[in-house]
Amino acid sequence: MTPMNPLQQYLDLHDAHLETINEHAPEQLNNLRARARKALSGATLPRRGSDGFEATDLPAAFAPDYGVNINRVDFDIDAANAFRCDVPNLSTCLYFNYNDIPHAGATARRDNGGPIVCSFMEASIFYPELLDRHLGTIAPLDNPTVALNSLLAQDGMLVYIPDGVTAERTIQLVNLLNASQPLMATRRLLIIVGRDAHARMLVCDHTQSNQVPCMTNQVVEIFLDHGATFDLYDLEESNTITTRVNNVYATQQADSNLLLDTITLTNGFTRNNFNINVDGAHAQTQLLGMAIAGGRQLIDNNTLLIHQAPHCQSNEMFKYVLTDQATGAFEGKILVRPDCPRVEAYQGNRNIVASPTARMHTKPQLEIYTDDVRCSHGTTIGQLDEEALFYMRSRGISLPEAKRLLMQAFMSDVIEAVRLDNLRDRLRYLVDRRLDPTSPCNADDPCAACNTQKTTE
């Protein structure tokens, strides 16, 4: 039975170990922590969506007695085996989160005047003004999962692209989960892209073992200054006993260009919240998502895109393929504020439910308070085209192969929106492998099965 308020166990943990928690964290996080403690007094986690849908039962997700690494023990992680998101022919500046402890990879590089990627602990010494100015300013503490992250986070990663700088190499952050006992990793990511700066980032989530349940509670804050361009590709390849709650907040100034692309290939329970404020004229936003789920996996994407300036464009598209007893959910809203003419905003959600026991919940929404705009939204839920399947089978293509080809074609436009050629090619391969019923990705222990296959090849 789910306890009345699963947050209480973490409040008790915080209160009993506050001195130790603060000792291992920078001042800026400790200041945020004090505000989070007040915000969580009497707070509860929502059990249902705004229309009563209860697929994403957050109290149940946080109810297990997950441990928290208060003493900052560096867990043993086999990065070579867990790191499965190498992109051929893509040179990256590589960083890791071992559970929630930042590490620089072998290809991490800092050039004078170039991009800065470091832990909050390091940033508090060398770049304290960046944390003072931005940390915790757009991720609201009235969201209980954000407040819980702020309550327990002891470190995080700063990505800073100074004014006018173009990051020549993609920044890659690999999040690895591994523990001998149930563990909650509290991750924080602060991204600041300066005026007329340009950067791309790939974030990959992996779980090393399928024997111990782990959870990630993550908050990402993104600031784009005037004329900035930033791509964030978020790829989840975890396992069926991993829980992930991910809150992404972004704000855009005039003439900025933001691409957010979330891809869920393997998971257990995933809730992604995306909140984007378009605060400057002529800004452009792309918010894309792709999810493939089988078994009893649950994937819930919740979006809010607010246009607060005129002459802006946004395009939002989420696609799901669900089989077995998987559950998908999409709840998205585009809000156009008063006095914001010439906004073009499009939202779509397309879904294939390839099993009679799979479920899909969708709720696209528009709220428009100004004239002279072009806005639309829509959703479809369907099955694979029987005529197309018959046509392919009549030409010698097996039924499983025909289904795989149709599902792959269904995902193609989301993949084609990726603005990194090598990553786009890699995603085609990963999606193809995930949709193949004989692939080790669809085994009970996909990581072990994949490693076994590699060993025997």
Of 178-182, 330-334, 451-455, minimum mean pLDDT range:
451-455
Q: What is the rounded CA–CA span in Å between residue 86 and residue 425?
A: 12
What integer best gives the mean pLDDT of the chain? 89
Residue of 95, 291, 99 whose CA lies nearest to 178: 99
User: Three-state SS for 59?
Assistant: helix
- Is residue 402 a contact partner of residue 392, using CB atoms and an 8 Å limit? yes
Region 176-201: mean pLDDT is 95
Q: Provide the whole-model pTM.
A: 0.92
Give how far Cα 128 sits from Cα of 20, 25, 72, 133, 319, Å: 22, 13, 22, 9, 40
Q: What is the pLDDT of residue 455?
A: 39
* Chain segment 35-61, per-residue pLDDT in tens: 999 999 989 998 765 555 556 789 999
Question: Would you say residue 401 has pLDDT above 90?
Answer: no
For the chain, the structural domain boundaries read 7-456
* Chain segment 105-129, per-residue pLDDT in tens: 877 777 777 899 999 999 999 999 9
Which two three-digit tokens encode residue 37? 């403690």
- Dihedrals phi, psi of 143, to nearest 5 degrees: -85, 115
* Chain segment 133-165, per-residue pLDDT in tens: 999 999 999 999 999 999 999 999 999 999 999
Stretch (H or E) spanning 350: strand 344-353
In the numeric block, the tokens 């789910």 are attached to 2
Angle of the 7-16 helix axis to the 27-40 helix axis, nearest 10: 130
Residue of 37, 188, 79 whose CA lies nearest to 123: 188
Which two three-digit tokens encode residue 319? 């696609």
Q: Which sign does the torsion angle of CA 391, 392, 397, 401 carry? A: negative
- Is residue 140 a contact partner of residue 85, using CB atoms and an 8 Å limit? no
Which two three-digit tokens encode residue 135? 């940390």
For Cα atoms 414, 417, 419, give the angle at the middle one, nearest 5 degrees: 140
User: β-strand 198-207 against 116-119: which pairing, if any?
Assistant: unpaired
Question: Would you say residue 449 has pLDDT above 50?
Answer: no
* Chain segment 242-251, per-residue pLDDT in tens: 999 999 999 9
Cα–chain center distance at 50: 21
Of 104-113, 198-207, 376-385, minimum mean pLDDT range:
104-113
* Cβ neighbours of 380 (radius 10 Å): 11
* Chain segment 254-305, per-residue pLDDT in tens: 999 999 999 999 999 999 999 999 999 999 999 999 999 999 999 999 999 9
Q: What is the pLDDT of residue 177?
A: 92
Please, which pLDDT band fits residue 215 given cuts at 50, 70 and 90?
very high
